[in-house]
Amino acid sequence: MASTALTFSDRDAHRAWLISQAKLPAGFRVGTTRLEFIPREAPKPAKMTLTLIALDQPTPNFAAMFTKNALPGAPVIIGRRRLNEPTLGAIIVNNKVSNVCAPGGVETSEKICAELAKLLRLAPGQVLPSSTGVIGWGLPVDAIISALPHTTAALTGDSIMPAAEGIMTTDLYPKVRRASVGAGSIVGIAKGAGMIEPNMATMLVYVLTDLAVPRATLRAALTRAVDVSFNTISVDSDTSTSDTVALVSSGRAPCADPAAFEAALTQVCRDLAEDVVRNGEGVRHVMRVSVSAAATPAFARAVGKTIVNAPLFKCAVAGNDPNVGRLVQAIGKYIGASAPETDLSRLRLRLGGIEIFADGVFQLNPEKENALVAHLRGAELYASAPPEDGVFTAAVDYPPHERCVEIEVEIGNGAAAAIVIGGDLTHEYVSENADYRS
């Protein structure tokens, strides 16, 4: 899915590459501030970063898509309203507290927007708020308002890296992707690990462009790009209450070719989506499932999602164990429950390019088994090391390569296809989500 499968000699090389991608498009500035506070719901102090993305001029051309979770965060409720505003001037993001179903959450978030608007000479409705972090806690509104002047004072127009790092929570590294289109560029950042709602994180994505694309075109392009990128990934099947993808155009560069813009936007979204999985909590293998010859695109995607969400297959991949019986189980589980009349007589499966199932039966032998193990090992981001205290942590922060476990599924009853990206299920995931108290 990534435009190029990168490998990095070391962490510094990866970081240098990210910095090279991070130049802000014309018309934007970013700034961050750290603050400390004591949550009402917990006894010990917590730290938060405020990240501000500001436009030099408010723009009518912005788009945003939000979580489908039926119990969304206050910023999502406000964000949906903002889509009806004539222009957008700034985005204010906090981590640590997601402001979901907290008493007075919407009012708190609106108050922060209003205070920031005063500092930036905007109307409150021109500020889009985003929050990510613990679900259930309320925002420390006074501490945030006190920190806003420091945040606006920190605004600079050079690199998006401070924002890419400022929105991180349990992320191991900042995620930045860019594409150039004619005289302009598209730069996106992401935090979180996809559909998962980790200890104190959710997925947030901000894509900035200087290309002059009208609001309606922008929103239609974002909907299509998200459908083939963020909507095709899953780390652990959990859908956060705060997921947000925003796309903002400053209009500083002409956009002569809307189709080229949408293609570049789609690539940036796909790259970021794959990054989000690669940085998923505890992910040691990224799985790319290509489903083809299916009756419909929705069916193809559902089969792919079933595979990347099947806990036993995910565990097998974590262990570099080509337990392909679990792969067949996952496919049969979905089809048996959802479309039991499907003809599976032409089902074919490949793992790492090696045929493992055809003509209704497994195609296995000891030589293939060895090759399958080698493929899984080659896609491993790092080996798991048993820690002395039993709490597993990631052995790398910046991933050393972008290789995936490649799974191909030919259903054999149509011409539709889909690609789905997911991660394995590891001790590192369980440690991150069970061994620490939030």
Q: Which of 45, 337, 353, 383 binds its own copies (CB under 8 A)?
A: 337
Site for its own copies in 124-163 (CB under 8 A): 134-136
Q: Which of 30, 276, 324, 420 binds its own copies (CB under 8 A)?
A: 324
Query: Quick check: is 33 catalytic?
Result: no
Contact status: 412 vs its own copies (CB under 8 A): no
C-alpha dihedral (270, 276, 279, 282), degrees to nearest 10? -120
Task: Please choose, out of 9-17, 119-127, 255-263, 335-343, the segment that lies near its own copies by the rule CB under 8 A.
Answer: 335-343
Identity of the residue, 146 or 237, whose beta carbon is nearer to its own copies in the bound complex:
237
CB 132 within 8 A of CB 205: no
33, 59, 67, 202: which one is catalytic?
Answer: 202
Pick from 286, 95, 305, 67: which is nearest to 199 by CA? 95
Contact status: 436 vs its own copies (CB under 8 A): yes
Q: How many residues bind its own copies (CB under 8 A)?
A: 84
Q: Which of 110, 165, 171, 197 binds its own copies (CB under 8 A)?
A: 197
Q: Which of 33, 67, 130, 279 binds its own copies (CB under 8 A)?
A: 67
Identity of the residue, 70 or 259, whose beta carbon is nearer to its own copies in the bound complex:
70
Strand intervals (E) in 72-135: 88-94, 127-131
Q: Which of 342, 354, 380, 381 binds its own copies (CB under 8 A)?
A: 342
Q: What number of H helices and E strands is found in the chain?
A: 12, 16
Identity of the residue, 266 or 279, whose beta carbon is nearer to its own copies in the bound complex:
279
Strand partners of residue 156: 30
Q: Which of 121, 259, 340, 367 binds its own copies (CB under 8 A)?
A: 340
Q: What is d(CA 249, CA 87) in angstroms, rounded to the nearest whole number? A: 11
Question: Tokens 């900042």 belong to which residue?
Answer: 174
Q: What is d(CA 434, CA 428) in angstroms, rounded to the nearest whole number? A: 10
- Beta-carbon contacts of residue 20 (< 8 Å; ≥ 6 apart): none
Contact status: 311 vs its own copies (CB under 8 A): yes
Three-class SS of residue 119?
Answer: helix
Contact status: 353 vs its own copies (CB under 8 A): no
Identity of the residue, 121 or 437, whose beta carbon is nearer to its own copies in the bound complex:
437
Identity of the residue, 126 or 170, whose beta carbon is nearer to its own copies in the bound complex:
170
Site for its own copies in 202-231 (CB under 8 A): none
CB 75 within 8 A of CB 259: no
Identity of the residue, 219 or 284, whose beta carbon is nearer to its own copies in the bound complex:
284
Distances (CA, A) of 183 to 79, 89, 162: 30, 23, 24
Contact status: 388 vs its own copies (CB under 8 A): yes
Site for its own copies in 30-49 (CB under 8 A): 41-43
Distances (CA, A) of 422 to 234, 280, 332: 5, 9, 19
Distances (CA, A) of 406 to 5, 189, 315, 330, 350: 13, 26, 16, 16, 8
C-alpha 239: how far from chain center: 11
- The distance of closest approach from Cβ of residue 169 to its own copies in the complex, given in angstroms and rounded to an integer, is 14
Contact status: 312 vs its own copies (CB under 8 A): yes
Contact status: 382 vs its own copies (CB under 8 A): no
Q: Which of 19, 295, 315, 416 binds its own copies (CB under 8 A)?
A: 315
Q: What are phi and psi of 143, to 5 degrees?
A: -65, -40
- The distance of closest approach from Cβ of residue 302 to its own copies in the complex, given in angstroms and rounded to an integer, is 12
Pick from 334, 268, 270: which is nearest to 301 by CA? 334
Contact status: 331 vs its own copies (CB under 8 A): yes
Identity of the residue, 218 or 233, whose beta carbon is nearer to its own copies in the bound complex:
233
Contact status: 389 vs its own copies (CB under 8 A): yes
Contact status: 367 vs its own copies (CB under 8 A): no
Q: What is d(CA 283, CA 394) in angstroms, rounded to the nearest whole number? A: 9
C-alpha 360: how far from chain center: 37
Identity of the residue, 200 or 273, whose beta carbon is nearer to its own copies in the bound complex:
200
Contact status: 360 vs its own copies (CB under 8 A): yes
Residue type for 91, please? I
Catalytic positions, written as ranges: 202
